[in-house]
Structure 1
Amino acid sequence: MPHFDNHGLKGGVWRGHLSGIDAPEVRVVLVHHAEILAEARLTPDGPGCWQVETDLPADVLSDGLQTLLLKTAAASGADSGPDGHVLARLSLMAGQPLDEDLIAEIAALRAELELVKRELRRFAAGVAGR
């Protein structure tokens, strides 16, 4: 099972250490609202361990709470979506402070629900096409 140690966000780059994963078989991607925004750079750091860096696109910086997910995705096919294994979450808040923590939780759930809906639609289209 992969494990991600978050080293934080600095200068628009999210860094961390990933262990327990075979990098040639998997991609690590940054996901926002069920869309892949960027692919993380993996640098070998010992057997089965990797340094991970991903740039945050400027368009995710907007008022309110934004929840970004670092996920695994299949290595083959540039348009293949994330397979659902969340390695880490990063919440960014900008603009006016939110009144309640519940709003932040709803935003995180909404982002994950959008991903589930997209994957379910893709699965249903594949079953219907048989």
Structure 2
Amino acid sequence: MSEFEYLGLKSGIWQGVIHRDAQPGRLVLVHMGSRVAEARLAAEAPGRWRVAAAIPAERLSEGAQSFLLLEDGGAEGEPPRPGARRLASLTLVAGEILDGDLHAELSLMRSELELLKKELRRLAAEPA
């Protein structure tokens, strides 16, 4: 079982629970290699730490956007330290650009399926 339990995204706040005995270190939200926010952490019960990270609206755009939740021992406001531990990732997908991506992917899958069917027919037709 993963240490991070995903609780969802609502009103731009990504929430989850970390299951561990000791309090986690600083939690940093990273997008495209840059620190964009720090997550809030609150003790919920013994061994359960509630995490809430606000997704900055200016980081949302068309296409796929990936956010990482990292844990390190850094100070507030500084970039993630080397060796920061990845706890979770969140991928958001939006916009019209996706229609083209999905159609292209579907077309590629159809082409590969046709090649596979052709090869299976050839193998089935060969004498034993």
The yes-or-no answer on 1:91 pairing with 2:104 is no
CA–CA separation in structure 2 for the residues paired with 1:76 and 1:13:
22
The yes-or-no answer on 1:40 pairing with 2:39 is yes
In the alignment, which residue of structure 1 is the partner of 2:17? Answer: 17
Structure 2: gaps spanning 5 or more residues: 106-128
CA–CA separation in structure 1 for the residues paired with 2:76 and 2:17:
25
Letter in 1 for 2:41: L
CA–CA separation in structure 1 for the residues paired with 2:10 and 2:58:
17
Task: Give TM-score, length-normalised by structure 1.
Answer: 0.67
Aligned pairs, how many? 102
Q: Hey, which bits of structure 1, 4+ residues long, moved more than 3 A? A: 75-78
In the alignment, which residue of structure 2 is the partner of 1:4? Answer: 4
CA–CA separation in structure 1 for the residues paired with 2:77 and 2:90:
23
CA–CA separation in structure 1 for the residues paired with 2:94 and 2:76:
34
CA–CA separation in structure 1 for the residues paired with 2:61 and 2:75:
32
- Over alpha carbons, which structure has the higher Rg? 2
Structure 1: gaps spanning 5 or more residues: 104-130
Task: Give TM-score, length-normalised by structure 2.
Answer: 0.68
CA–CA separation in structure 2 for the residues paired with 1:84 and 1:76:
13
Letter in 1 for 2:29: L
Whether the aligned pair in 2 keeps the contact of 1:30 and 1:71 (CA below 8 Å) is: yes
CA–CA separation in structure 1 for the residues paired with 2:52 and 2:43:
12
RMSD: 2.7
